Amino acid sequence: MSKVASAAGSAHRTPTNPRGLKDLPFEVPGVTDAQKRRARRLDRALIEAYPDAHCELDAACPHELLIATILSAQTTDVGVNKATPGLFRAFPEPADYAKSTPEQIEPYIKTLGFFRSKAKSVHAAMTALVQDHAGQVPSSMDELLRLRGVARKTANVVLGNAFDINDGFVVDTHIMRLAWRFDLIDEDERDDPKKVERKLVALFPRAQWCRLSHCIIWHGRRACPARGARAHEHPICKGFGVHCPKG
């Protein structure tokens, strides 16, 4: 966090796990009133710039979204969307995956990185849905995290987009990068997804976590990529991009 932002309002830090966040399974870091006001201005700017921002993984139901998100690890959404139509036609329901084997799933996702490991994760997750959840995707963080191939990022994507539940903040490579460029996190937090998520949930209103994650990701993909010499020219980067590249 910039020295100016960190110093401003330092006497008014939010207490750990304030009202509305007490159910989270981790301690929320303290943030100043000034930091929260700046975050809300950024929130409004991003939503105004990207009013149609949404999850760009193609899925027609919760279990398809769960599968697509598992497959998206270290792979682009574009690549996943090319592979899943054939996969979803071949295996319409979780029970169809459970009746198959990872080896039977592999041919449909062989264009994706780590496809053998992902086939095992998809097969195990869908088998667990059939055996433990009557074929339905669970709508709780704890139950989702018990599924193979599911960590907090995947669970947050599914909860937010399939069930409209904000139990955390999605943290992918775009959000990691932009949280730093927008000066939302400290130097010692920028490489730790857990610390990034905790700071973001402290800064932004809970009702906005899912929608805002899409806005940040859209901005990262469309205007402020990891490598882009002119990324700082976007109005949002000009207004909030403390650490955006300058050339």
Known catalytic residues are 153, 172
The rounded Cα 91 to chain-centroid distance in angstroms is 26
- For 140, phi then psi, to 5°, come to -130, 145
**What type of residue sits at position 25?**
P
Q: What is the dihedral of CA 87, 164, 190, 32, to 10 degrees?
A: 180
Closest CA to 225 of 242, 247, 204, 244: 244
Q: What is the dihedral of CA 10, 12, 15, 19, to 10 degrees?
A: -140
Q: Determine which helix (DSSP H) or strand (DSSP E) holds 220, and give its type and residue range.
A: helix 209-222
Positive or negative: CA dihedral 211, 217, 218, 220 = positive
How many residues does the structure list for the chain? 247
With vertex at residue 207, the alpha carbon angle to CA 47 and CA 157, rounded to the nearest 5 degrees, is: 85
**What type of residue sits at position 141?**
M
Question: Cα–Cα distance between 122 and 42 in angstroms, integer?
Answer: 37
